Amino acid sequence: MAASSRPLANILTEPLLIGTVTLPNRLVSAPMERNYCNTEGHMTAQYEDYLLDRARAGVGLLFTEATFVRQDGKGRSHQLGAHNDSCVAPLAHLVDLLHAEGSLVGCELNHGGRTAQSSLTGLPSLAPSPVPCLIAGGEMPRELTTDEVYELVAAFADGAERCVRAGVDVLAIHAGHGYLVHQFMSPLYNLRTDEFADPAAFLTLVIEAVRARVGRTTLGIRISAVEGTTGGLDADQTFAIVQRLPLDLIDFIDVSAGSYEAGEWIVQSGEWEPGYLRHIAQRYRSLGKPMGLAGRINSPDAARMIIDGGFADFVSLGRSLHADPLFATAALHGGTYRPCIACNVCIDNLGTGQVGCSVNPAVGRNTVLLPLPTLPHGTTATVVGAGPAGLTAARELAIAGAAVTLIDRDNSNGGSLARAALMRSTPDFHLFLNWSDQELRRLHVTRVTADAHADDQRNTDGTVVAIGGIGAALTIPGMAADHVHDIRDWLNHQFQESNLPEAVTIWGANAVGMSVADTLASLGVHVLLLGAETEIAPESGRRAKILAVPRLRANPQVRIELGVSLNRIDQDAVQICRDGGAAEWINAPGPLLVSQGIQDADFGPVQAGATPVRVVRSHPEGASSTIRFAVSAGRDAAAELAGTIITTASASLVTQNGGVR
């Protein structure tokens, strides 16, 4: 399709007719699961507030999330449900709120099939064929009988009717990402010999049943254009199935990709090109249906490129809107927004609790955070440390009205995050630093390059100390050798792509060790990765290492020794023990980089004086340091300091006035 001649700046603001509704613009909030409902599958005030923020920012159509249509298809502890009539009233309340803001509301009908586990649902796991999903828990599902398949078709129609009774404007049938409908389509998970061996049969019946039940309500399907696994559906096979569906009964097709076994296709890392699915999905334009597109649409420019290039009619936005609802405002009207950095902590949180965000401390914390209180005129504040915690604290205090001075011994902002932005698997981390720099300039934060001393807070009303941590202390013989470095110090002072060593040894198979090993190996460096850990980066979620770990294991220039202790360090050799066995020396060429976590640094004399001080820990008790923790801790420290300053000012005013009369 030829590119549009319309101005790029206006394309996203144009309305779009889909079925019986007109989207006010081309931005759609994708059905991203968040675990914000209650355990009954009902909407909560927290979830309503979250979606309202995105409606007020200008999103034209807000999908809630994958919504289970029957109890045995529930995949998350706090997932949205349309499985019984008790779900209607809470959903209707949300619809009324979002309609009042001018947004349309969508629900995506889903059943987990083999991904739903009885430990959560209380019912047996069911699937087209008895093929377990190891990633979801590994329970062996029972194969559905033919009659039970028809019962599930009816369950989709029942769930659709409940959504329509609640006032939902748009419905989508989830036919991707490895859930039940997709399982019927896939040769990996549909081994049947009855009528439902046909990969289009189940989805065809679901479409027909839902359409018959909901009348002219706008209805579409969400598909995975490629399954992403060996032996799974490729792009040609998927398109052939979709062509055979009763397309006259649906109003749009929303294109995504991937499955549980190929999660990197569903939620992509920063290594993937923005809008990566556009060329794979373009063939669906020939079907004559309005089309949506998902897949790492992480900037307004990427969204405009997709619509202007004719690749889709609307964009389905997940993480970009999760990181900041103002992404929508910026895409439609210009302005700034907090960028997603593709760390994928959000999706890794989904299996354990509420879906948070590394760069936005306001989401995934059981409630919507209120802004800091307005500080008295003339308030000054000092923030020591320009890592993610310090940058966040400085911004929050400045928004609250303080004149903020930010102090760091380095000329540039970011601390360890700036080094992480150089790594192969996290190239988008610099986006947060760029945005923070822009925000601090906008808010007139004074930046000082210096070590912090007591004098730095002499004329300030309060201080936040956010200087991070230092490498954990080790007492291994040979640690003092010139070729042994803390991995962060080495990245700060010696990492240059133009002057890399031929080989390195890394002691510590944690997330930092993994990332550095992966990056150096990709640049041609021979890597020996040693760790007491029994797996690589055990503290990281699956998506954070879904590409790096297989690369390391497949690279012939990488040697990995896990579950070992390090006894001694010598030049070009280390002594290790495996599983408590005999000590042995192995070659360990190049600099030895120690990645053993961090401990809180001594912030010294900056505590002196009478003004209040809030100290940000380098990591939560008993856990590893993360960007999310740093950003949230920086925000919380700023809020605590602001409250103390206001309390102190109020008490001082009372004293000056001779007490309360």
**pTM for the whole thing?**
0.91
What is the extent of the structural domain holding 647?
Answer: 380-470+601-656
Which ranges in 443-507 belong to alpha helices (H)?
A: 487-493
Q: d(Cα 651, Cα 657) in Å, to the nearest integer? A: 10
Q: Is the pLDDT of residue 624 over 70?
A: no
pLDDT in tens, 324-334: 999 999 999 99
**Residue 152, in any domain of the structure:** yes
Question: Mean pLDDT over all residues of the chain?
Answer: 91
Q: Which of 596, 615, 641 is the C-terminal boundary of a domain?
A: 596
Q: Cα angle vertex 142, ends 228, 182, to 5°?
A: 30
Residue 192, domain CATH: 3.20.20.70
SS3 state at 224? strand
Q: Is the pLDDT of residue 141 over 50?
A: yes
Same-domain pairing of 291 and 157: yes
Q: What pLDDT score was predicted for residue 623?
A: 57
Tokens representing residue 272 in the block: 């993937």
**Residue 461, in any domain of the structure:** yes
Q: Are 16 and 314 a contacting pair, CB within 8 Å?
A: yes
For the four alpha carbons of 321, 322, 326 and 330, in that order, the dihedral sign comes to negative
pLDDT in tens, 264-309: 999 999 999 999 999 999 999 999 999 999 999 999 999 999 999 9
For the chain, how many structural domains are there in total?
3
Same-domain pairing of 583 and 635: no
- DSSP symbol at 231: T
Q: d(Cα 470, Cα 599) in Å, to the nearest integer? A: 6
DSSP for 286-319, written as a single string: GGTS-EEE-S---SHHHHHHHHHTTS-SEEEESH
DSSP for 32-81, written as a single string: -----S-TTS---HHHHHHHHHHHHTT-SEEEEEEEESSGGG--STT--B
Q: What pLDDT score was predicted for residue 8?
A: 43
Q: Which of 581, 596, 611 is the C-terminal boundary of a domain?
A: 596
**Residue 275, in any domain of the structure:** yes
Same-domain pairing of 337 and 406: no
Helix (H) or strand (E) holding 361: none
Q: d(Cα 555, Cα 558) in Å, to the nearest integer? A: 6
Q: What pLDDT score was predicted for residue 603?
A: 53
**Residue 433, in any domain of the structure:** yes
Q: Is the pLDDT of residue 55 over 70?
A: yes
SS (H, E, C) 435-456: HHHHHHHHCCCEEEECCCCHHH
Same-domain pairing of 72 and 145: yes
Please give the average per-residue pLDDT across 448-460, as a whole number: 68
SS3 state at 568? strand
Sequence-distant (≥ 6) Cβ neighbours of residue 147 within 8 angstroms: none
Q: Is the pLDDT of residue 654 over 90?
A: no
Same-domain pairing of 201 and 334: yes
CB atoms within 10 A of CB 197: 14
Q: Are 562 and 525 a contacting pair, CB within 8 Å?
A: no
Choose among 60, 162, 140, 69: nearest CA to 109. Answer: 69
pLDDT in tens, 163-218: 999 999 999 999 999 999 999 999 999 999 999 999 999 999 999 999 999 999 99
Same-domain pairing of 73 and 194: yes
Choose among 88, 89, 79: nearest CA to 33. Answer: 79
**Residue 357, in any domain of the structure:** no
Same-domain pairing of 486 and 634: no
Same-domain pairing of 337 and 426: no
Q: How far apart, in Å, are the Cα atoms of 603 and each of 425, 596, 614, 630?
A: 32, 21, 11, 16
The amino acid that residue 292 corresponds to is: G
Please give the average per-residue pLDDT across 453-474, as a whole number: 71
Burial (Cβ within 10 Å: 0-12, 13-18, ≥19) of residue 640 = middle
Q: Cα angle vertex 138, ends 135, 140, to 5°?
A: 140
Same-domain pairing of 465 and 539: no
Same-domain pairing of 417 and 270: no
Q: d(Cα 636, Cα 535) in Å, to the nearest integer? A: 33
pLDDT in tens, 333-375: 999 999 999 999 888 888 888 999 999 999 988 776 778 999 9
**Residue 368, in any domain of the structure:** no
Same-domain pairing of 255 and 132: yes
Residue 449, domain CATH: 3.40.50.720
Q: Is the pLDDT of residue 46 over 70?
A: yes
**Residue 360, in any domain of the structure:** no
**Residue 300, in any domain of the structure:** yes
Same-domain pairing of 526 and 389: no
Q: pLDDT band for position 652 (50/70/90)?
A: low
Cα-only R_g, the chain: 27
Q: pLDDT band for position 6 (50/70/90)?
A: very low
Residue 560, domain CATH: 3.50.50.60
